[in-house]
Structure 1
Amino acid sequence: MPEKTIAHDDTVTVERITAVREVSVAPSRAARELGLRRADFDIAVQLGRIRTVPGDRGGGRRVARAEIQRVRTEAGFPDALRESVRTVGTTDGAALLEVTKARFTRLARLGLLVPTTFSLNRYRAVVWRYLVDDLREFAADERNRALLTGRVPGGLRDQLAEGLDLRPRNWRGRHLECLLRRTDDPWARAAAVASLLDPVDVSEVVRDPYERSHLSLLRPARPVHGSPGSPAAQLAEELMTAAEPDETDRLGADLARAVCHARILRPAPRPAPRAQRHGPAATAHGHRPAPAPPRRRPAPTAPTAPTAPTAPTAPTAPTAPGHHRAATARGRRDAHPALRPVPNPPRPVSNAPGPAPSRHRAADSGRIRGLLRRLRRRGS
């Protein structure tokens, strides 16, 4: 009976987990169910055509079943969805606008045509792709007719001659709009702005190291181009990072406002104080024991006056003050200290001629005086 119960519980648990996972699906599966290529699906997510939700247990973003059903019920599905996310390169884009490739490139460098995504070919050349709907909208605007057929104005030609290229900057702006559209969390929105700045620029705006660490934790992943550390990956990293001073200043100001707003709503997490990390453990009743009072060092006692000796003792060598203090300290620790006299050091024996010690001279003079007294008595 217990084995059957355990098997039943395991089955119920697996079914419950499966049911929770089926509420949302992975992006690759959602792309297959919607009839999109993975690249087109990513563009649809970037443009807000398909909404995603954060994954459970810290995983990547997922697509809810309800969102897939909503997209399927839209008019013209799936052809309308595929057409709304279709992109073209420079050659197809120039054909769509009925201009030359050189003119199309100049219009894109001037920032009049905003790219949606980019890739790197085998020669590490940047291949920009543009949304078909954006190109059609640009061509339908009567104000742009002169740019498509006439000569480019002189001021714009001078900027092109100086090397102006706004395609990376415009792509970063569109990418940031996509990141901000995904979340309402204030710290995540601030991290989205910080993802376009160099870490040095972020440290100049956000001085608190714990806030910078929190922003780094919430920083959205950048599109992958090439293996990490490869020249292609380094080039893509440069394209995804703001470099112009005016753009850096603008993003820095946006980051400062976003962090200030997030700090007011919810401060960044910080480590617990040391007293809480290393404090005494709680007892069985949930109460912490009272801290023990600090140990006080005993005050030094004054040395007592020596008493008169009752019996003659052997002479002792004088002790240094430091030795007396050490003996006093040991005396406080021991109940009955043992003080032993230090014997006199032995006199060195020398065979060299010299004056005899003082006691030998005194004995010799006594014998001479006695001999003189006996001689006087005889002479008398």
Structure 2
Amino acid sequence: MTPECNNDCPICLNKTTRTRNDETNRRLSVNKIRQLIDEASDIGMVGVYWTGGEPLMEYKNLLHLSEYSSKKGLLPTVITNGGLIGAYGNYKKQNQMLLNKAGLFDLDTSQIVKSLKDSGIIRVYFSIDSSHTTLESVYSDVYNVVPTEAVSRAIIAFLDEGYGKKHNLDAIGHQLRVTATSSGLLTKPTNKIVEDVMRKVGLKLKEELSVNASIYKNEKGQVFLRRLNVASLGDAENFDDNILENKKGEKLFDIQCPHFIPREKAYDDGKHHGDLFIDYDGIVYTCGNHAYPVGDVYEESLVSIIDGINNPSNDGNFSLTRNVYHSLLVLSRHTGIKNIAIGEALRMIYSENPELVHNIQTQCGACSSLGHRKDLQQAFLKAFDKHYT
């Protein structure tokens, strides 16, 4: 929705830190977004994610577009750092200019949450971790740049509005989620931040689903926690190796990516489906990490872009990436591969030319390199044709 944000996070995949906010002159207008909602509705998509920047910076447009998408059958999700929703006290004073610009300063947390619910928003992702830095720091007894008090107030308000449930559509799942991105030196402070938020909300660990996924619960409902690793993208490219996830060489071959798993219990009765991420400059990616650029909404419709993935050609700006992504989808159907399609692709490249894989590191960084580097793309397609014709 916007490149503007109340945070300045070095790990932001969406290139929205303060130093980069003016990189593009092209911004998706409300009318363009409505058009995209119409197209998505026509082809049977199930929902829409609002991201940014911080979507609450566009509060009034967020309400309008959420209501519009709901009427079109696309269930809306908002991805937020929570600071503007739960702002109060010193944090609210220090961010008064931003809150006024967003139209939020005169509203309290419960009013904001109720308006979001009334607009049709069905799910909320809170993004909190040790690499988040607020535009104006606020005192916190855990980490002096993360407003855990504000985030906690926001989560409590959503629980009060009944969001602590699991949606009957498997493609939606838990309606309240917390995402914490950290690895290496960032892990310990991130754990403290997450623990502090859960304690202030009054949530206790109910179930550990995996190493990276847990469910927390209180009498009002439950929150799903997902832990992610820091990828070498955005400003994080400048991080030391001891902060990144840091898989290298043959360790890249076991990379797993859920985007390539056909979901048997999904809303479409088992047909493969995935996300399309449309950046504020109109470029379409098949992953929120900007991994695979496959089209431009100013040049093509969503139908045309999807058709270009399903039936890739050798013509156009996005032809090479479309061929790569199509081949990865085909690869994911192969017995025994499925969600390790990315790792298998890198293994195949390594068998052709080990040097190409030598300087790649981290899980999402490796995936992104396959979506952007022509030498890797061409090597993968050559190996794919050789092994899987």
**Bigger strand share:** 2
TM-score range, shorter chain: under 0.3
> Which of the pair has the greater relative contact order for Cα pairs under 8 Å at 6+ separation?
2
TM-score by length of 1: 0.21
TM-score by length of 2: 0.21
Q: Which has the larger radius of gyration?
A: 1
